[in-house]
Amino acid sequence: MIYIGNLLPSGRIIFLLVIFLPLLASFANAEESKKLVAFDYAIADTLSALQQPPLAMAGLAQYRRFYRELLLPDTRELGNRFQPNFEYLASLEPDAILISPPAHLNLEDKLSSIADVIKIPLFGENLNIWQNLEQLTREVGKLNDQQQQAEELIESVEARLAVARLAVIAAQIKRPAEPLFIAQILDDRHLRLFGPGSLEDMVLTQLGLENAWQGPTNDWGFSILTISEAFQLEGRFILLHAAYNLSDAALPTSGLWQHWLDDTPINIEVNYWQWGGFFSALRLAESLKEALENT
């Protein structure tokens, strides 16, 4: 037992400070989150979902322009995604820098001279995107001692996708299910098709739907087809059009694209990041559910 009754008031204060200051400091350190910098929106979005947005992010202004939203309002801008301000980044003294290969591997040497670089691969033809996003959520949760919150986030995503899947099944009563192409017209001669290794393919699978495009894809989970190749495809199409690129909304008003489809496609606005995390997947899933219900 520690007895302090004989100490003068000032002595007692000093004694208590000596005893309790280390304990208070340990509590403060336990609550202080790590200073993390993200070079990938899926990573940044997951950190934000766990209430620990990244300290800074490369390309943030570009993402905000694409979405036309003030994304990650508490996160600082590092400049261009592939030409960041290294001096400013170093001044922030981050604990770790998170990237998603194959992007930004050419910057790894410079980044590693500033802080530890954590590489989290997410997309690619031979990768399981759902498992990767689960692993991403758990990894960033572990960085800030938020393992429980990470598991709760995964469970909440699974629950919302289950609700969307039931609605899609109900919508299929009106029209039998058939494989779907998820496409995006790039210009008057080229089309992007999302296949294995993409967020779009993962969402179709989670909704109990089949992706009609099983051709080879690149590291980002899509293939580029010419207009002549697109004319050889037969099936039902989901056409994505982005708010930041008004020229590709639905079918172009002129050219061969007007004679491309026999069936009316399902048009969905890209209100999600196409290489994003679980929140992007939920946005796409719920948009697709609403489109199928209204078809």
- Can you give the pLDDT at residue 5? 52
pLDDT at 212: 95
| Cβ contacts of 185 within 8 Å, gap of 6 or more | 191, 192, 239, 241, 248, 251, 252, 257
What pLDDT does residue 251 have? Answer: 56
- The DSSP annotation for 170-215 comes to HHTTTS----EEEEEE-SSSEEEEE-TTSHHHHHHHHTT--BS--S
Q: How many residues does the chain have?
A: 295
Q: How confident is the model at residue 234, as a pLDDT?
A: 85
Query: Nearest to residue 123, comparing CAs of 282, 277, 284, 285?
Result: 277
For 63-110, how does the pLDDT look when each residue is reduced to its tens digit (9 = 90+)? 888 777 778 899 999 999 899 999 999 999 999 999 999 889 999 999
Return the number of other C-beta atoms located less than 10 Å from residue 182's C-beta. 28
Cα dihedral 134/135/140/141 (nearest 10): 60
Q: What confidence score (pLDDT) does residue 6 get?
A: 53
Each residue's pLDDT expressed in tens, for the chain with a length of 295 residues: 444 455 455 554 444 444 444 444 433 433 567 999 999 999 999 999 999 999 999 999 888 887 777 788 999 999 998 999 999 999 999 999 999 998 899 999 999 999 999 999 888 777 899 999 999 999 999 998 999 999 999 999 999 999 999 999 888 777 666 889 999 988 888 889 999 999 999 999 999 999 999 999 998 899 999 988 988 888 889 999 865 554 444 555 556 776 777 667 888 888 788 888 999 999 999 999 999 888 7
Please classify residue 129 by burial: count the beta carbons closer than 10 Å to its beta carbon, then call 0-12 exposed, 13-18 middle and 19+ buried. Answer: buried
> Of 253, 250, 190, 180, which is closest to residue 226 (Cα–Cα)?
190
Q: What is the pLDDT of residue 172?
A: 77
The answer to pTM > 0.85 is no
pLDDT at 9: 52
What local confidence, expressed as pLDDT, does residue 14 receive? 47
Q: Which amino acid is at 106?
A: N
